[in-house]
Structure 1
């Protein structure tokens, strides 16, 4: 019997269950659906669902369009000295890219079912500018940023047919798919804890074509977490 004044008594069962769910997600980089999480943790499915919703809402879990959950973008920040985050690595690269191309460059991450812009670098002049704000949310299944973000992860049955071609080519170029008059070039960033891509958006279609090798080079500079330890 645990003594009443034992520091191990009490505690939060909900917190312990949530941490157990997070541990299971960390063991399965390809993601788990709610039933799989429930089976792995021994929790009732309804309990697992509520915990996953909370983890997703707070960024500790990411959910794809097939209902699978994986470790979310908020987790790496808790891990201490594990190397710089993707956003930290990408920001100076994006600013150099924006200056070189005179176009808006951004980091896009898959958060939930959206492609969310998390870092933005604006060009130094008012050339063929297309404004993109931090926090902008676009579809994952069309538009350069969303498609390249999907291509940064392993193949999935529900992904659009062209994602595999993007994965193999290392880039995608789109025209007016999300916003009329916007031309986007994006490159996947595989190997990071979150699916992500770098994206350049411009109103000049010729500039978009010229940007392809520069965007691919920037993605190579960002590399993977192992390149920054």
Structure 2
């Protein structure tokens, strides 16, 4: 199994066991189908017995569980952790995302900037469409490829070496791409204007229909602005 370069971080003195557990948590969350004890051992470069003890510890805390195929998958407690991440942002964004998903009959995703990637923290599907694109929670895209990454870069000050799509996004208020992350799919994204989140966030729609993508820019810019206002108001009222 190939190691994830972003999670293959050298453990500081005294926290090797914690680092191993965190790497495994991320790996099983990203795997889609789960990991066997042998795969965990290969990932960490340790014997099966050590890998088994790590998985048992995660299972004891509800962070992993073993399915009928004998693979370890995320435990129920992982959902608690996911729900605890940026709750104010998700609370403000998700109702707006549902309205946008139904209006454009397309999947809407909320991304945040994480290291050198855009990572989805919420995915809303339309309730009135016979077909739409589905995504796995936690999906990631590079910042230098695809509308979501371009949008997050456009929220920063300009740089001389930025991709042309980022410069254009800053001018139009939204980024657009075609087939850069998923073959054949159009993506349109607009950053959320707020200083009330610890990381930049962006709203994206993904569709195979060019006609929808053509009209999505104004709609998603309006939705992102609305989320920004809701966040600012919520923090102001919280005082």
Q: Which residue of 1 aligns with 2:139?
A: 136
Residue 213 to residue 127, structure 1, CA distance change in 2 (3 Å): farther
CA contact (8 A) 1:167 1:188 kept: no
Q: How many residues align?
A: 155
Q: What is the rounded CA distance, in whole Å, between the counterparts of 1:191 and 1:152 in structure 2?
A: 10
Q: What is the rounded CA distance, in whole Å, between the counterparts of 1:97 and 1:143 in structure 2?
A: 20
Other structure's SS at 2:123 match:
strand
Q: Which residue of 2 aligns with 1:107?
A: 110
Other structure's SS at 2:212 match:
helix
Q: Deviations over 1:77-125 (max 9, x none)?
A: 79xxxx9722221111111111111110011111111110111110114
Q: Which residue of 2 aligns with 1:118?
A: 121
Q: Which residue of 1 aligns with 2:166?
A: 163
Q: Which residue of 1 aligns with 2:232?
A: 226
Give the TM-score of the pair, scaled to structure 2. 0.57
204, 207, 216: which one aligns with 1:211:
216
Q: In terms of mean alpha carbon deviation, does 219-228 or 156-165 score higher?
A: 156-165
Residue 84 to residue 115, structure 1, CA distance change in 2 (3 Å): closer
Q: What is the rounded CA distance, in whole Å, between the counterparts of 1:156 and 1:87 in structure 2?
A: 30
Q: What is the rounded CA distance, in whole Å, between the counterparts of 1:107 and 1:95 in structure 2?
A: 11
Correspondence list, 1:37-56, <5 A: none
Q: Which residue of 1 aligns with 2:207?
A: 202
Q: Which residue of 1 aligns with 2:35?
A: none
Correspondence list, 1:184-195, <5 A: 184-192=187-195, 193-195=198-200
Q: What is the rounded CA distance, in whole Å, between the counterparts of 1:163 and 1:142 in structure 2?
A: 10
Q: Displacement, 1:212?
A: 1.8
Task: Kindly indicate whether structure 1 or structure 2 has the higher relative contact order, using CA contacts under 8 Å at least 6 residues apart.
Answer: 1
Q: Give the number of the structure whose residues are more often helix, by fraction.
A: 2
Give the TM-score of the pair, scaled to structure 1. 0.60
Q: What is the rounded CA distance, in whole Å, between the counterparts of 1:153 and 1:222 in structure 2?
A: 18
Q: Displacement, 1:141?
A: 0.7
Gaps of 5+ in 2: 1-11, 24-80
Other structure's SS at 1:141 match:
coil
Other structure's SS at 1:85 match:
helix
CA contact (8 A) 1:104 1:201 kept: yes
Q: What is the rounded CA distance, in whole Å, between the counterparts of 1:158 and 1:111 in structure 2?
A: 20
Residue 127 to residue 202, structure 1, CA distance change in 2 (3 Å): farther
Q: Deviations over 1:111-165 (max 9, x none)?
A: 1111101111101144441112320011111111111112123334553233132
Q: What is the rounded CA distance, in whole Å, between the counterparts of 1:105 and 1:139 in structure 2?
A: 18
Q: Which residue of 2 aligns with 1:91?
A: 94
